[in-house]
Chains A and B, each alone.
Chain A
């Protein structure tokens, strides 16, 4: 069963879909943001699991050993680092926008916000 052999990727996919459905099905803006963060975390888990190689160490040169067979792949780690920083920024931005929407409409329900905004336009 390849799904059980690739258990980290499978877990990442399931986490991604939980986050996706949270984002789509909930009306509360904060829950939508939580769903988005879960999707981010799933992608980081997936990327990090891609770089792992069985029985090798983290890419920190110790004892002058510099052969490729000794260390895991360093590239996904760098990509995940970039992703985490951007995800933190995006989360802060989304939360700030949610706070502003709450100040204006006194609700976090997206349907109500859309209805109120539609009435304002008329």
Chain B
């Protein structure tokens, strides 16, 4: 009994609602009919013409801004650039005339800081090369930051350019790779005999030069960064001559990650040790050695080798990622 009543109630309610909707629709239609009826055909035509005129004006304005506007803004931009450049060059050249003479010893930059580095650097760091002693001992934290910047840049480049399963759909280079999986690269010569014979002779020499520059960083001009760049050039020459398949036998993405992370960790840990001992006035157990010997200057040799590894791997990583999209 109760359910029957509920049914009837709901039916009545929905009926009411739909009746209301019907009423509203009908009234709207009536209103629209009345509007159209009120306008004479001439008025309608006039309204349409007005509309078309407006559209034409808007279109012409758009075209004008598209063509003339961009032309004007481009010219303005060029003129503004030239003005800024000329102002900059005049201002900076005026500043140069105010600078102390080139090569004069009484330049204010030659103050007690550089005097301290030159007079005490050898005793305090053990490095004959004062610049190396400065960047890897006094300012070693800064150099750790530099190596991390290189590592971060390599990671971001890898993140931007790395080839994946979908990439051949949107990148032409990856499509070439995808369509010809056996071609090392599409554009470069493969198995070039002159290149291979030259690389066979040159790669060991280049790598040995790099090792020499890294290991002599505290004795002669050079160090981790320059030596690492030379060794990276050696690896790049090897991969150009012999291809990625041979390179992957000893250098893959995992090798890269492992070597760079171990190098950065070694750097950070050894510097933590010297910061800890230095801040607490504990004598360091690492001997500075005789100046001028290969095994001297304490931690600087280790740090140079770490930086050299990071730079070598990063240079090769840049090349491989830009050329092929993977290591």
Residues in chain A within 8 A of chain B (CB atoms):
2-3, 5-10, 13-14, 16-17, 20-21, 24-25, 49-56, 58-62, 66-71, 73-78, 81-82, 84-86, 88-90, 92-93, 95-97, 99-100, 103-104
Pair count A-B, CB < 8 A? 160
Residue contact A49 to B102, C-beta cutoff 8 Å: yes
Q: What residues of B have a CB within 8 angstroms of the CB of A17 in the complex?
A: 85, 88-89, 92
**B: number of interface residues (CB 8 Å):** 60
Decide if B96 is an interface residue (CB 8 Å cutoff): yes
Q: Which residues of A contact B101 (CB under 8 A)?
A: 2, 5-6
Check if A86 sits within 8 Å of B146, measured CB to CB: yes
Least CB separation from B143: chain A residue? A82
Q: Tell me the nearest residue of chain B to A106, going by C-beta.
A: B172
Report the minimum CB–CB distance from A1 to chain B (whole Å).
8
A13, A59, A66, A69: the one within 8 Å of B96 (CB)? A13
Look across to chain A and name the residue whose beta carbon is closest to the beta carbon of B218: A60
B99 and A86 form a contact (CB under 8 A): no
Residues of B within 8 A of A (CB): 78, 81-82, 84-85, 88-89, 92-93, 96-99, 101-105, 107, 109-110, 113-115, 117-119, 121-122, 128-131, 134-135, 139, 142-143, 146, 149-150, 152-154, 156-157, 160-161, 170-173, 219-221, 225, 291, 318, 321-322
Chain A facing B: main interface SS: helix
Indicate which residue in B102, B119, B135, B322 contacts A95 across the interface (CB closer than 8 Å).
B322
Q: Which 7 A-B pairs have the closest CB atoms?
A: A89-B153, A54-B103, A59-B130, A2-B97, A24-B81, A17-B89, A96-B160
Report whether B102 and A25 are in contact in the complex, using a CB–CB cutoff of 8 Å.
Answer: no
The verdict on A9 contacting B99 (CB below 8 Å), with A58-B221, A73-B110, A84-B225 known, is: yes
* A75 adjacent to B134 (CB under 8 Å): yes
Residues on B with C-beta less than 8 A from A74 are 114, 117-118, 121, 130-131, 134
Q: Is the CB of B118 within 8 A of A66?
A: yes
Contacts of A52 in B (CB 8 A): 102-103
Partner of A5, one of B102, B109, B322: B102
Given A50-B107, A59-B130, check contact A92 B225 (CB 8 Å).
no
- Residue contact B102 to A9, C-beta cutoff 8 Å: yes
The distance from the CB of B71 to the nearest CB of chain A, in whole angstroms, is 12
B202 CB, min distance to chain A CBs, angstroms: 23
Given contacts A13-B93, A68-B115, A75-B134, contact A60 B221 (CB under 8 A): yes
Q: Which residues of B have CB within 8 Å of A20?
A: 85, 88
- Whole-angstrom CA separation of A49 from B96 in the bound complex: 12
Cβ–Cβ contact A10 & B96, under 8 A = yes
